[in-house]
Chain A
Amino acid sequence: DAKTTQPTSMDCAEGRAANLPCNHSTISGNEYVYWYRQIHSQGPQYIIHGLKNNETNEMASLIITEDRKSSTLILPHATLRDTAVYYCIVRVWEGAQKLVFGQGTRLTINP
């Protein structure tokens, strides 16, 4: 399985952009990078995914480096409700798609 490495925790001021990094140096050419977040005691919420191009949706932007070995999730104007654990996941195919979750980054948005 392709593994991901994320910082254990990060802080960001409310209203500022939150930039969450992720390393996935062993990613294969056909493996997507997914981002989910999980607020305490809730199910993970899908944020965004990409293969090699940068992606943007109403929640966030995803920047993937040209060599695809790392990516950054950007929350452009963080609010207190963005406080959560953010998971960077490389989706692999093993008979069915499989999401391999690491321990994620605990993002705290401070007022």
Chain B
Amino acid sequence: DGGITQSPKYLFRKEGQNVTLSCEQNLNHDAMYWYRQDPGQGLRLIYYSQIVNDFQKGDIAEGYSVSREKKESFPLTVTSAQKNPTAFYLCASSFTSVQETQYFGPGTRLLVL
């Protein structure tokens, strides 16, 4: 089955702790994206990557970090600097970063203990 997978489905973070959310795709897509969704709100772009070993900040990158060492993988780390991390995190990918439809994973819900 081709698609985008995110793990875990639920994640709990203690105060001061860094946590990493996984995003994997086997669609052979070059571009990958991370969005954050707060209750009752639309999605906001955190980071995006157009190609391996390259990534750019989105609208709300503060307190987050990413890496893109492999085409298939784009993990997101929520650092302790992110003061309000509780949200639904969505990963997406597209063939290229230009004029291509983005497809989304099932999401990870992050909760702070």
Contact = CB atoms under 8 A, between A and B. Distances in A.
A87 B40 CA distance: 12
A101 B43 contact: yes
B48 A96 contact: yes
B107 A42 contact: yes
By size class, the interface of chain B is 20 to 34
A65 interface: no
Contacts of B35: 101
Contacts of A102: 42
Interface in A5-47: 32, 34, 36, 41-46
B50 to A, nearest CB: 5
B107 A41 contact: yes
A95 interface: yes
Interface stretch (B12-20, B67-75, B78-86, B97-105): B97-105
Most buried by A among B43, B48, B103: B43
Nearest to A98: B45
Contact of A41 (B41, B88, B94): B88
B56 interface: yes
Nearest to A49: B101
25 contacts: A34-B101, A41-B88, A41-B107, A42-B106, A43-B104, A43-B105, A43-B107, A44-B90, A44-B104, A46-B103, A96-B31, A96-B48, A96-B50, A97-B100, A97-B102, A98-B45, A98-B48, A98-B58, A99-B45, A99-B102, A101-B35, A101-B42, A101-B43, A101-B44, A103-B40
